[in-house]
Amino acid sequence: MANHRADRMSEDIQRELAALIREMKDPRLHDGILSVVRCDMAHDLSFCRVYISSMNGLETAKKAAAALKNAQGYIRRELGTRLKLRYAPALAFEATDSIEYSANISRILMDIDVRPAEETDESDNS
């Protein structure tokens, strides 16, 4: 049962943290498209590891993670207030390049020249 609660709490934290990042005024958080990719919550709900990714690359995500680490006390207090938690979890922010990686895979797939089946049949008959 605790596992389901940790999963629900990580989803709630991910949603509220994304909204909170949009409201913050730190310029390092607004260099590009910033996303909260995943939140891993401890089973006892005392610790949460948050993965941040940016469309502009890993360096931008690292700057954003550093900015979030500097504002960790504020973020923790706001999450506790918004989610009505008795004890807000300690947060650790890590940068990841998952958005850039998925965009690169999408570009590669779009570059593949796929002909419809009708054209391949006609070329085989010639």
Q: What is the pLDDT along the chain (126 residues), one digit of tens a residue?
A: 457 888 999 999 999 999 999 999 988 888 778 889 999 999 998 999 999 998 888 898 999 999 999 999 999 999 999 999 999 999 999 999 887 777 788 888 888 866 666 665 565 665
Domains and CATH numbers, the chain: 2-125 (3.30.300.20)
Q: Determine the number of helices (DSSP H) and then strands (DSSP E) in the chain.
A: 5, 3
Specify the pLDDT at position 1.
46
What's this model's pTM, rounded to 2 decimal places? Answer: 0.77
Show the tokens assigned to 77. 């207090």
HSE (CB half, 13 Å, CA atoms) of 120? 5
d(C-alpha 122, C-alpha 126), whole Å: 7
pLDDT for position 99:
76
The pLDDT of residue 28 is 86
pLDDT at 71: 93
